[in-house]
Structure 1
Amino acid sequence: MKRLILVPAMLLSLLSCSSSDDTTTTSETPQEAIYFPPIGSDTWQTKSLDTLGWNEAEVQPLLDFLELKHSKSFIVLYNGRIVLEEYFNDHSAVTPWYWASAGKTLTSTMTGIAQQQGFLSISDPVSDYLGQGWTSETMAQENQISLRHLLTMSSGIMDEGNDDCVSPDCLEYAADAGTRWAYDNVYVKLQDVVAAASGQSWTNYFNTQLRDKIGMSGSWIQTGDLSVYWSTTRSMARFGLLISNNGKWQNEQVVPSDYIDEATHTSQQINKSYGYLWWINGEESYHLPQSQLEIPGSLIPDAPADLFMALGKNDQKIYIVPSKKLVIVRMGDSADGTNFALSDFDDQLWQKINAVID
């Protein structure tokens, strides 16, 4: 394990923090502004645990737990500044890793940008952009499905047996749109909608309207019918930072703030813990992927109630906690066993995080 706890004595060891101005550990002030790392540079300001009053004695147990649970990287940002940055199991700051379904939130974000630019409306039927026959449903059934239904996992399309197939013969009717919540990869059709509506390729539109504006690295890799995003951990953290600041990067409103608000709150009444491809903590009940069972209680009981998150297969995580000014990223292999998004690991991890920050 490469240990990179960001305290002053160790700052010079960080390869990506070369500017003496930017690597100065900041102290807490009531008016401290949110920090944005510069575009085109891996320089990133840091903040020491002692200025935050965090419990440094609990850091090593947290890191040991992360390493034990097959993690590859872990970053904690406070108000945009790195407090902890760790790499495990031969992973490094420059090694890309897949976002899996945590990347659904990138698709959600691009849909909001395209709507703001007048290319589409999420209330429109998907067929307005993809034409008739993008599913195997009847025309009447298919025309019920709006972009919002794809954003909220409530398209009514059958989620069993499809795996990663999103060709028309795999997209079969299960229920009327808006009446059933089911976690499925049909959301990826939103990428086709954005491309058709904007008149650009998905990759080009994504790169120019989001990736390059906030200094992310990474690329979309096609796997079967799906396009999966790969990037460094810091790039994942940049995206989390953008969303935590209501879609604004420095002085540019990259994503409409009202759309971010909608996307990160309950989007329908079937699964109250789901927004526009974002998971939401602190609600009264939730559904798990591949299940129609409503489970009472909060998704992650030991996490803050205002937490919302991007969750991907095998425990790819972006946690955002507005009340604590935190963005937390975990990348790696599955902590305990293959899972689609949420796992018991989330609550166990938050117990360890709480021991540090509380």
Structure 2
Amino acid sequence: MKPSILMIILLFAFFSGCSQTDDNTETVSIKPYFPPTNSEVWESVSPESLNWNTAFLPELKAFLDEKNTDAFIILKNGRIVVEYYYNDFTSATPHEWNSAGKTLTAFTTGMALQDGYLSLDDSTTEYLGLGWTVMTSEQEAAITIRHQLTMTSGGDYNVADTSCIKPECLQYLNEPGSFWFYHNAFYTLLQPVMDVAIPEGFDNYFSEKLKNPIGMSGTWLQFNYNRVFFSNARSMARFGILNLNHGNWDGYQLLDENYFQSMTSTSQNLNKAYGYLWWLNGKESYRLPQTTLELQGKLIPNAPDDLFAALGKDDQKLYIVPSQDLIVIRMGGNAGNPLPGPSGFDDELWGKLAALFNY
């Protein structure tokens, strides 16, 4: 008897949901998961079911402990596979994101763009008013929101404090768009720009449009010139899930797909490993904070080429790997490289993860 059309469809659906591993065992692919926004309940999946090298987990756990880690999570398509806490931290303990929080500002900027509050090519002066720097009016007017997002504002990085946002600290050095330098002050002024552009201000807009819809906790706190976001590691994981799914949360598109692609792609030709405040792996060269040198090779050689990341001082890490449906979060103290973004810890950690994932 010939199989019915319905049976053929069901068989096709079953086998298309399976993938073949190197040892010829079949594993059912995991559909995207979004944890409830009003609950701490979170689905998990075992590393054994993913054919990971579970014998390596004790070594990874010890390595993270040695590296001053407070929280560490690995997710597969939104589900928790590994979750470790150290130093009295728990899933509810807040931790600073440091510069990894720049990506929250980049995402919010995109939402303000799609809501019509601003354009990336608007002059920053349009929102902060004349005299927000000590440059000439022509030099100042040439700086745009896009330059702030891409670290290409051209400000003098030889000043005493590149976090200082006082006008006397914001001096001219290069034509905007002609040089890349990790000048923190020009990034910091993005939130004041949105305070003017958005009727309810940045904080309320951020909570209403981004934080609350995906169930994040956390708040922005002021430290000298910088505003730093604090949340627990699971809230960082929620933001990771949102970006793994291109700005979509459980069917609701929070961020325009075109902006998302621009945000997580090379944003200029000066530092190919930099998008809109996101770091990008797999490029032929990169530049690092606090230096003007261009370095050859990939940002994180041990990591997959399609990885993009939110990276903060003292090794706050949010890694996203679309090809593997993976998200990795690390929060903690300095792991040995007290740098504001990428550090040697990135490649060291991904060497360990490659062994776990059987790359």
TM-score (norm 2): 0.90
SS in 2 for 1:106: helix
1:94 aligns to what? 92
SS in 2 for 1:122: coil
Which letter does structure 2 place at the counterpart of 1:175?
N
SS in 2 for 1:149: helix
In the alignment, structure 1 residue 78 sits paired with structure 2 residue 76: yes
- Report how many residues are paired: 331
Q: List per-residue Cα deviations over 1:176-201 (Å, max 9, x = no partner).
A: 10011010212111111112111122
Q: Quick one: distance in 2 between partners of 1:345 and 1:147?
A: 31
SS in 2 for 1:206: helix
SS in 1 for 2:28: coil
Structural RMSD (CA): 1.1
Q: Quick one: distance in 2 between partners of 1:257 and 1:251?
A: 13
Q: Quick one: distance in 2 between partners of 1:132 and 1:163?
A: 20
After TM superposition, give the deviation of residue 132 of structure 1 in Å.
Answer: 1.2
1:22 aligns to what? none
2:172 aligns to what? 173
Q: Quick one: distance in 1 between partners of 2:80 and 2:124?
A: 40
In the alignment, structure 1 residue 127 sits paired with structure 2 residue 91: no
Contact 2:337 2:345 in 1 (8 A): no
- 1:282-297 alignment runs, 5 A limit: 282-297=282-297
TM-score (norm 1): 0.91
Q: Quick one: distance in 2 between partners of 1:209 and 1:184?
A: 27
Q: Which runs of 5+ in 2 are unaligned?
A: 1-25
Which letter does structure 1 place at the counterpart of 2:164?
C
After TM superposition, give the deviation of residue 29 of structure 1 in Å.
Answer: 2.4
Q: Quick one: distance in 2 between partners of 1:308 and 1:130?
A: 31
In the alignment, structure 1 residue 112 sits paired with structure 2 residue 124: no
SS in 1 for 2:64: helix
After TM superposition, give the deviation of residue 210 of structure 1 in Å.
Answer: 0.4
Contact 2:286 2:299 in 1 (8 A): yes
SS in 2 for 1:154: coil
- 1:293-304 alignment runs, 5 A limit: 293-304=293-304
After TM superposition, give the deviation of residue 28 of structure 1 in Å.
Answer: 5.0
Contact 1:110 1:194 in 2 (8 A): no
1:280 aligns to what? 280
Which letter does structure 1 place at the counterpart of 2:153?
S
- 1:1-358 alignment runs, 5 A limit: 28-30=27-29, 32-160=30-158, 161-185=160-184, 186-358=186-358
Which letter does structure 1 place at the counterpart of 2:34?
F
Which letter does structure 2 place at the counterpart of 1:172?
Q
Q: Quick one: distance in 2 between partners of 1:337 and 1:327?
A: 22
1:24 aligns to what? none
Q: List per-residue Cα deviations over 1:100-153 (Å, max 9, x = no partner).
A: 000000010000000000101111111112111111111111111110000000
SS in 1 for 2:345: helix
Which letter does structure 1 place at the counterpart of 2:300?
I
Q: Quick one: distance in 2 between partners of 1:337 and 1:107?
A: 25
Q: List per-residue Cα deviations over 1:186-241 (Å, max 9, x = no partner).
A: 21111111121111222111100100010000000011122110000000010011
Contact 1:236 1:329 in 2 (8 A): yes
Instruction: State, as a whole percentage, how many aligned pairs show the same letter.
Output: 48
